[in-house]
Amino acid sequence: MSVMKRVSLIFKAKANKALDRMEDPRETLDYSYQQQLEMLTKVRRGVADVATSRKRVELQMNQLQQETGKREDQARKALASGREDLAREALQRKGSLQTQMNELQTQYAQLQDQEEKLTIAAQRLQSKVDAFRTRKETIKATYTAAEAQTRINEAFSGISEEMSDVGLAIQRAEDKTAQMQARAGAIDELLASGALEDNVSGRTDDIQAELDRMNTSSDIELELAKMKGELTSAAEPPKEIESNGANGEAKPTQAAQSEQQGEGS
């Protein structure tokens, strides 16, 4: 049999099973209406859940972007210091960050798609629920058992089909959210293992540590050189004083000589 016909029959069978459980057709209407309201709440919660997941992916994407920039910066610094091995390591990590980033981007698009679809489904269900409420009251007001049964069955099957459809959409969105959470967890673990820099704990990674060490040691060399320079210049002036002193000893003589000369003239 046709796939499309089979699917529609399965949906109808579900509705009929629920209908058969009711004794009074009017009871069916109220019962169904309660379920519709519950389904509306569920689909709205679904939209909110997907939106939360999407925002979390967005945050992780920002974090990964920052890390990527940092790795590139590290590679540049390492290369400037003549450490090609370290630069290579930094670029390798940047590469794996980008792989994660690409996967997150795909996931982000999927979540956006789910959010959009669920939002539309919620709007459509809301319209149907409103229409159902009106029809329910009309049927109840003009109730004759024989006529009502047909009209109720029709309304019930119609709304039940919509609810099954929305139910499937919610399930699908939940699956996507679960997938997202698994990935988010993996990235969090990656952050915690120190493969990425953890901004929260402020711990630095090994490449950064090596760069810091190189920086520190070159700072130390600079400071040492400066101190040596100071020491040398501090040691030299006394020499000048000494030589000045030697001249100074001679000076009085010269001065005395010139004084004598002055006195003489």
What is the pattern of x (binds another protein, CB under 8 A) and - over residues 192-221? ------------------------------
Q: Which is nearer to another protein, 75 or 163 (CB)?
A: 163
Check residue 68 for interaction with another protein (CB under 8 A).
Answer: no
Among 43, 163, 180, 211, binds another protein (CB under 8 A): 163
Check residue 16 for interaction with another protein (CB under 8 A).
Answer: no
With b for 16 or more beta-carbon neighbours within 10 A and e for fewer, the 78-94 pattern comes to beeeebeebbebbbebb
Q: How far is the CB of 63 from another protein (least distance, A)?
A: 30
Q: CA nearest 159: which of 64, 19, 27, 51?
A: 19
Q: Return the number of other C-beta atoms located less than 10 Å from residue 184's C-beta.
A: 17
Cβ neighbours of residue 208 closer than 8 Å, sequence gap 6 or more:
74, 197
Check residue 3 for interaction with another protein (CB under 8 A).
Answer: yes
198, 192 in Cβ contact below 8 A? yes
Stretch of 99-107, 116-124, 138-146, 214-222 contacting another protein, by CB under 8 A: 116-124
Check residue 22 for interaction with another protein (CB under 8 A).
Answer: no
Check residue 169 for interaction with another protein (CB under 8 A).
Answer: yes
Whole-number Å distance between alpha carbons of 224 and 233: 14
Stretch of 72-80, 127-135, 197-205, 213-221 contacting another protein, by CB under 8 A: 127-135
198: three-class secondary structure by DSSP: strand
Q: How far is the CB of 21 from another protein (least distance, A)?
A: 11
Q: Which is nearer to another protein, 171 or 215 (CB)?
A: 171
Residue 191 buriedness (CB in 10 A; 0-12 / 13-18 / 19+): buried
Check residue 13 for interaction with another protein (CB under 8 A).
Answer: yes
Q: Which two tokens stand for residue 245?
A: 């002193």
Q: Return the number of other C-beta atoms located less than 10 Å from residue 70's C-beta.
A: 20
Residues that bind another protein (CB under 8 A): 1-8, 10-15, 17-18, 35, 39, 117, 121, 123-124, 127-128, 130-132, 135, 154-155, 157-172
